[in-house]
Amino acid sequence: MAEEKKSKKKDPKEWRLEIDAERCKGCAFCVEFCPKDTLEMSDEFNSKGYHPPVIARPETCTYCDMCEMVCPEFAIWAASDTHKKSTHISDDFLRMDRMPHIWCPGCGIGTVVNCLTKALVDAGIDRDKTQIVSGIGCSGRVAGYVDVDSYHTTHGRAVAFATGLALADPEQKVIVVSGDGDLTAIGGNHFFHAARRNANMTVICINNFIYGMTGGQVAPTTPETAIAVTTPYGAYDAPFNLPFIAESCGAEYVSRWTTYHVRHLQNSIKAALGKKGFSFVEAISPCPTLYGRRNKLGDGLDSMKFYKEAAVRYKKKEHTTADADISFQDKILIGNFVDRDDRLSLLDAMDEQHKAKLGDKYAGWPIPG
């Protein structure tokens, strides 16, 4: 991965790791993910009762940023006086006065936020031209925490709201961050039609297979036989295969990764942000509190380890998005499934049609003045 190769060149004399032990919720993602075994969980407690990590072997650290990317609490980062970096990458994009966030220890939503933040930086997107829209749910809280123009809208309506934003100001990069329930149950129709219309937005769906915020009800993504509060004997409805739906409806870009695959997720979000029409990135993410616990899957870290084992890389010659369906605790097809340029975005299609029909009478969109 180019990003990792580049970051490995960081001069250890210029960099150091910093940990905000008070922000930590003790999920151990950073310790587990560190490729150099630099970190250890300490025996000490912070004031909230969590064990933070310590830098046990600083000499081994290559400042690859992996701990910074995976930490859902934004609690550990590589700092450098030479390179004028002293805070977590997501700090600049978050309303830090609203921290600590509501997400549980080991929840993957914060990790997805890091991937989004990094992707925004990598893509060089002007934050004054970035709009982030969410509906309701734990994932829906993202819009309330990010420090760009953001909208915490009603349940299921994020895509509808985003369509309006995108049409009103074509200069804006409109991003929807949504839970699987929000996007595909109550919000399903908006999702399908925005993909069909190739509406100008990037949709990031944080799929934890459950309605988290409301107590763990079955979702359209819950795998058959998985336990939810409304299916105590196991889910029995066939779940949606989101990449398949997005592709079938006409999305320009479709990918799926998990919160274990932070670099890929970051790169996919960056690629998605580069598309003009409808781009869709699914991020499979742990909900240890309401999906993991009820299904005896352990904590967030156990889910992350499972994602590593269960992931099967998409190969164009072998797979289609029809193979991206998910069964309970079974393989998860991951990869960049669709990247096409043969459709006009909603804005361009509207423009072309109006130009063709109205000729010189058409003043262009948005209407000047």
Ligand X SMILES: Cc1ncc(C[n+]2csc(CCOP(=O)(O)OP(=O)(O)O)c2C)c(N)n1
Catalog residues that contact ligand SF4 under the rule CB under 6 A. Answer: 24-30, 52-53, 70-71, 73, 75-76, 103-104, 107, 109, 138, 208, 212-213, 287-290
30: partner contacted, choices ligand X, ligand SF4, none (Cβ within 5-8 A by kind): ligand SF4
Q: How far is residue 52's CA from residue 136's CA, in Å, rounded to a whole number?
A: 30
32 burial (CB, 10 Å; 0-12 / 13-18 / 19+) is middle
Q: Are 195 and 249 in contact (CB under 8 A)?
A: yes
Q: At closest approach, how far in Å is the CB of 156 from ligand SF4?
A: 17
- Three-state SS letters, the chain: CHHHHHHHCCCCCCCEEEECCCCCCCCCHHHHHCCCCCEEECCCCCCCCCCCEEECCHHHCCCCCHHHHHCCCCCEEEEECCCCECCCHHHHHECHHHCCCCCCCCCCHHHHHHHHHHHHHHHCCCHHHEEEEECCCCHHHHHHHECCEEEECCCCCHHHHHHHHHHHCCCCEEEEEEEHHHHHHHCHHHHHHHHHCCCCEEEEEEECCCECCCCCECCCCCCCCCCECCECCCCCCCCCCHHHHHHHHCCCEEEEEECCCHHHHHHHHHHHHCCCCEEEEEEECCCHHHHHCCCCCCCHHHHHHHHHHHEEECCCCCCCHHHHCCCCCCCEEEEEEEECCCCCCHHHHHHHHHHHHHHHHCCCCCCCC
181: partner contacted, choices ligand SF4, ligand X, none (Cβ within 5-8 A by kind): ligand X
103: partner contacted, choices ligand SF4, ligand X, none (Cβ within 5-8 A by kind): ligand SF4
Q: At closest approach, how far in Å is the CB of 220 from ligand X?
A: 9
104: partner contacted, choices ligand X, ligand SF4, none (Cβ within 5-8 A by kind): ligand SF4
Q: How far is residue 166's CA from residue 131's CA, in Å, rounded to a whole number?
A: 9
Contacts to ligand X from residues 215-234, by CB under 6 A: 219
Q: At closest approach, how far in Å is the CB of 142 from ligand X?
A: 9
Q: At closest approach, how far in Å is the CB of 280 from ligand SF4?
A: 20
Residue among 143 and 287 whose Cβ is closer to ligand X? 287
Q: Which segment (6-14, 75-83, 207-215, 338-346) binds ligand X by CB under 6 A?
A: 207-215
Q: Are 70 and 111 in contact (CB under 8 A)?
A: yes
Q: What is the contact mask toward ligand X in residues 150 to 179, using x (rule: CB under 6 A)?
A: -----x-----------------------x
Contact call for residue 181 and ligand X (CB under 6 A): yes
196: partner contacted, choices ligand SF4, ligand X, none (Cβ within 5-8 A by kind): none
Residue among 138 and 262 whose Cβ is closer to ligand X? 138
Q: Which residues pair with 150 in a beta bridge?
A: 132
Identity of residue 317:
K
Q: What is the contact mask toward ligand X in residues 262 to 301, using x (rule: CB under 6 A)?
A: -------------------------x--------------
Binding-site size for ligand X (CB under 6 A) equals 19
71: partner contacted, choices ligand SF4, ligand X, none (Cβ within 5-8 A by kind): ligand SF4
Q: At closest approach, how far in Å is the CB of 71 from ligand SF4?
A: 3
Q: At closest approach, how far in Å is the CB of 179 from ligand X?
A: 2
Residue among 162 and 206 whose Cβ is closer to ligand X? 206
Q: At closest approach, how far in Å is the CB of 213 from ligand SF4?
A: 6
Contact call for residue 208 and ligand X (CB under 6 A): yes
Q: Nearest residue by C-beta to ligand X?
A: 179
Residue among 125 and 229 whose Cβ is closer to ligand SF4? 229
Contact call for residue 180 and ligand X (CB under 6 A): yes
Q: Which of 24, 115, 136, 272 binds ligand X (CB under 6 A)?
A: 136
Q: How far is residue 338's CA from residue 280's CA, in Å, rounded to a whole number?
A: 9
Cβ atoms within 10 Å, residue 95: 13
Q: Which residues bind ligand X (CB under 6 A)?
A: 136-139, 155, 179-182, 186, 206, 208, 210-214, 219, 287
